[in-house]
Amino acid sequence: MDEFQDTNYAQFKLLRLLAGRQANLTVVGDDDQSIYKFRGAAISNILNFGKTYKKAKKIVLTQNYRSTQVILDAARRLIKHNDPDRLEVRAKINKQLKANSVAPNKRVEHKHFDRVTSEADWVSQTIKEKFNSNKFKYSDFAILVRSNAEAEPFFTGAQHALYPAPVSGGGGLYVRPEVQLAVSFLRSIGDLADSLALFQLAISPIYQLNPLDLQKLNTFAKRRNYTLHHVFTHLEHGGEEYEVLDDLKPEARATVKKIMADIDYYLDFAKERTTGEVLYKFLKRSGYLEKLTRESSADNDNRLNSLAQFFAKVREFKDVAEIDRVAEFVKYLNILKRGWR
């Protein structure tokens, strides 16, 4: 059994029953990586394994292929603050890791920030400065985060610093602007009450609704407890209530009218079509796909690759769904979103 440090009492009890008297059992774990006590994990399972199975042979893995020795030594200095309640002390073994890679002997630095956005801005600015020194390429840098949701501030910081930042990992796909555009479109027609999705769609590169006018419309909707879709629909013929929006620019009104006409078109189109068909129609009819393929660049290639990955998610849904329609896919997205964090 792998990740043995994360097992609970009941799991270890079951494992002992399965192993039986022969005790034909192999477990792999590291008490220093035990972080799931709040889920019921019992670190005592690995700490006391030698007492339960007195003839167990211990094999200590100390060769590390991920980090440099400087990082490993810094991590060891921190983790040893948990002594003497560690397997290394209790079992009298040596868990000091040795790096397989050789790198410059630089110190590990700790930076403290008041909020995550400050940290993200510092990271982005530092990467930008090092790139501008002509000593580094953007591909020389990687930002590691614990969960996919934590990647978004750093991706936003990269956008503000105007440098490319491809995102890898499951949920990281969904912070890409081109994927957010696709998701906003699908949510806007799959759930007419989703004002955030319609807001993002309206301000996207496809419609480019003036941000100030869009904020006026959004504020109006919130104060009256309306959905943004309702406000967009009634903007031209909403009566006296809508007179407070008379200062909206004519271009903004025309854009809102265009958005609602498109949504009506796709709602009708989506009645008998799959999610993939509807999304492809939107990306093609809007000219977005043509723009990405016509204007060849590394960033556009990344955008196309991200969209291809998202279409793979759409196909996965089609394979498991009883009926593949946009509204059902939106519900599926909501379930996926819980796992991104």
3-state secondary structure 145-214: CCCHHHHHHHHHHHHHCCCCCCCCCCHHHHHCHHHHHHHHHHHHHHCCCCHHHHHHHHHCCCCCCCHHHH
* 3-state SS track over 55-107: CCCCCCCCEECCCCHHHHHHHHHHHHHHCCCCHHHHCCCCCCCEECCCCCCCC
Class of domain 4-99: alpha beta
**288 to 136, 162, 295, 300: CA distances (angstroms):** 32, 21, 11, 11
Residue 207 confidence (pLDDT): 95
Count the alpha carbons within 13 Å of 115 in the hemisphere toward its beta carbon.
3
| Residues 185-243: tens digit of each pLDDT | 999 999 999 999 999 999 999 999 999 999 999 999 999 999 999 999 999 888 889 89
CATH entry, 175-340, from 1.10.486.10, 3.90.1010.10, 3.30.565.10, 3.50.50.60? 1.10.486.10
The whole-model pTM stands at 0.55
In sequence order, which residues have a C-beta less than 8 Å from that of residue 204 and are 6 or more positions away? 181, 184
Asked if residue 165 has pLDDT above 80, the reply is: no
Return the DSSP state at 341.
-
Mean pLDDT value across residues 260-284: 96
pLDDT in tens, 92-150: 899 999 999 877 777 888 899 998 888 988 998 899 899 899 998 888 888 887 766 67
- Position 341 scores a pLDDT of 45
CA 243 from centre of chain: 41
| pLDDT score recorded for residue 149 | 61
Q: Over the stretch 292-311, which tens digit does the pLDDT of each residue have? A: 888 877 778 888 988 998 99
Locate CATH 3.40.50.300 in the chain.
4-99
**CA angle (161 as vertex; 209, 217 as ends), nearest 5:** 20
The enclosing H or E element of 234 equals helix 228-234
Q: What is the separation, in whole angstroms, between the first and last Cα of the chain?
A: 26
DSSP result, 235-300 = SSS--GGGGGGTTS-HHHHHHHHHHHHHHHHHHHHGGGS-HHHHHHHHHHHTTHHHHHHHS--HHH
The helix (run of H) or strand (run of E) holding residue 122 is: helix 116-132
Dig out the tokens for 126 from the structure: 């530092």
Instruction: Give pLDDT tens digits for 8-48.
Output: 999 999 999 999 988 889 999 999 998 888 878 888 899 88
Residue 43, CA distances (Å) to 13, 25, 30, 92, 272 in order: 14, 18, 10, 17, 54
pLDDT interval class at 161 (50, 70, 90): low
Rounded CA separation 313/307 (Å): 10
* Best CA proximity match to 10, nearest among 39, 47, 53: 39
Amino acid at 235: L
For residue 46, the SS3 value is helix
Q: What is the percent of the chain where pLDDT is above 90?
A: 55
**326 contact partners, CB below 8 Å, separation of at least 6:** 186, 189, 190, 270, 275, 278
Q: Where in the chain is the domain with CATH 1.10.486.10?
A: 175-340
pLDDT value of position 167: 56
